[in-house]
Amino acid sequence: MASTMSVSVWAFVFSLCFGVSKCYFAIPLRIYTGSYNVSSAVDVSRRVVLTSDGNGLSLASDPTGTVNFLDMVNNLQGDSGRGYYIEMSLGTPGQKVNILVDTGSSNFAVAAAPHPFITHYFNTALSSTYRTAGRTVAVRYTQGNWEGELGIDSVSIPKGPNGTIAINIAAILLSEGFFLPGVNWQGILGLAYPMLARPDSSVEPFFNSMVQQLGIPDIFSLQMCGAGLSATSAADPAGGSLVLGGVEPTLYRGSVWYTPIVEEWYYQVEVLKLEVGDQNLDLDCREYNMDKAIVDSGTTLLRLPVNVFNAVVEAITRSSLIQDFSSGFWDGSKLACWMKGETPWRFFPKLSIYLRATNTSQSFRITILPQLYIQPITDIDGTMDCFRFGLSASSNGLVIGATVMEGFYVVFDRAQRRLGFALSNCAVSSGVALSEIAGPFSATDVAANCSGGAMKEPLLWVISYALIAVCAVVLIILLLLLVLPCRRRNFSGEITDESSLVRHRIK
């Protein structure tokens, strides 16, 4: 009896130690297939020289303070369903590849082997400048995963800052559920901070390398132009703009409103409250930030913590003119269809997110119209149009994805640790603006720190190492207890997913 209990204790502790030591986290990414039918129509006829905007935000992408950001306008293709991607040239001689823009991860990874869902890949053997780093890397996203080898090679962006840089490349050799039918990209550009880089933060992310080697300001901005567009047309993709090194004023209207970056891993922000129409959800602000609130271009939907999501659906149901609506529509398992020409948006309210301003006693509000979250997907026999709900429940935090980002020009001002939102010039449908910004509002009625209590990855690693140390001591003691009383014992067993305490961090 005592022997059986000893072995059980040994197995449990070993499982605990081993599970903690192999802890890893999945990085947000969720892409739906589909296509949209309208291209952005941004005027690119003029060329300008830009300097500072007077508020400390650099509008230049080189140290001389002169640049033509209009060269970067419309350098993205794609839409929220298939992802927004940019053309790059990798290796020597250059090989052209399309790379998905993702602000929710930090690895630059590209297909380096054939795959049935992609038309071409980066052949490292054909590049005279490619060299392997001798390390393997694996990344798991909410949807899909890949693994490969780390290497270094030269990269340039035809519609980006002038110059070629040497960057870390993850050459994808195996993948599952990552490349999807109908996508036109062959890799992913992670634009978040080094803390999310895999296998560890010593792998310098692409944009960090660009800032260091080209001397551009530590700022980029993003416009995604798929707002309110159908997903069935064969017309050119909606596209957008990724401005590396600053901000292009022709891409937005009005002022840029800034919110602090709470922590530099994901682009984590602080959400103070949500409104459905004019109705405040009246939840504790910590509910919105449990366990984090991030801005992620690689996520299709607006994802909300379960309690918040349920409150939003209940509020929409109360305020909607459609009272008896199928629950399958809200959970994403069903589409809602109307007769062609009978658009449903008048039945639904606006959604507003309040973000803490850089003046922490204030907030501002970003609002999306129903055209952004009641999303056209397909038609049936040319007689009906079908729509999906652009929100979903999340067990791991609030994610401001493309559903919201398509309404705004988003400035990732890493130099001053802040994110900016302005009204996007392409978030307009039939002459109607699909997004709004208002403020400032007093934030004195909410907690001083709505992000408190969320367990961050650095803390998790500290706890992991502490547990490993404790486990090592316990294992030594157990080893002595098991070995000393008898000369030899047989022990067998394995660590399974069920016995491990590790749980993947997903959206």
d(CA 33, CA 193): 27
Residue that is written with structure tokens 């052949």 in the block: 123
Supply 363's token pair.
Answer: 């907030």
Whether residue 240 contacts residue 426, with contact meaning beta carbons closer than 8 Å, is answered with yes
Catalytic one of 71, 79, 153, 296: 296
d(CA 501, CA 345): 45
Annotated catalytic residue 53? no
**C-alpha distance from residue 18 to each of 13, 268, 462 (Å):** 8, 30, 16
Q: Structure tokens of 148?
A: 């490969």
From 71, 79, 102, 153, active-site residue: 102
User: Exposed (0-12), middle (13-18) or buried (19+): which is 172, by Cβ within 10 Å?
Assistant: buried
Give the whole-angstrom CA distance, residue 432 versus residue 409. Answer: 17
Measured CA angle at 378 (ends 375, 379), to 5 deg: 125
CA 392 – CA 117 distance, rounded (Å): 27
Residue 186 CA from chain centroid, whole number: 17
Residue 278 is a catalytic residue: no
Angle CA 432–433–434, to nearest 5: 110
- Burial letters for 439-471: b for 16+ Cβ neighbours within 10 Å, e otherwise? eeeebeebeeebbeebebbeeeeeebeebeeeb
Residues recognised as catalytic? 102, 296
